[in-house]
A and B are shown apart, each in its own frame.
Chain A
């Protein structure tokens, strides 16, 4: 399957700062990327879907001004958590699919802790 990397794997930041998480497709042209967050012992919650070169589509209840998503190329998508607060602490996971397929390949996740 496709290989997806995320960076950083974990980050600790102060409340009010912004954090950028990168999701890279290493061997695959990811036409669509997904961003999820996962709370402890829970399933994944889809935050947004982004297609290369287009604006991201956010799920209901997800603040687009707080969670900025950029999908500038077929191999890179970024999620920026702006003005982070402790309640934003979570495990963030990206995934990708190629054109015409619905199989998602997941990154290893980023653990964000906001103090």
Chain B
């Protein structure tokens, strides 16, 4: 069965310091993994997607994530936080369902706070 665990409900960093948002998953097959960002009262924007082509995935706005199968992790990182990065981040896993379509599971989200 699929599951997604975002290990921190909120993370607070200072502007200019690194960001680490943690995500662990479980999946029966070879999943696709995503990170989305949601600013207040907005929809979700795709940051990046892993599909087994490369374990280190680069996304938009300087974010990247590394797929580690042995640790079943897909942590999101950014070298230097910007004030505009303050938002809610969702880790998402998508896998084949029993009916042949895709089954998508959302993590609970991590709120990122960026201090000046």
Give me the interface of A with B, judged by CB distance under 8 Å: 1, 4, 6, 32, 34, 41-44, 46, 49, 91, 93, 95, 97, 102-109, 111
* Chain B interface, DSSP helix/strand/loop, else mixed: strand
Interface status of B32 (Cβ within 8 A of chain A): yes
Complex Cα spacing A93 to B46, Å? 14
Residues of B within 8 A of A1 (CB): 46
B-side interface residues, number (CB < 8 Å): 20
Q: How far is the CB of A22 from chain B (nearest CB, A)?
A: 14
Give me the interface of B with A, judged by CB distance under 8 Å: 32, 34, 36, 41-46, 49, 90, 94, 101-102, 104, 106-109, 111
Instruction: Contacts A97-B102, A102-B102, A103-B34 given; indicate if A43 touches B44 (C-beta within 8 A).
Output: no
* B31 nearest in chain A by CB position: A102
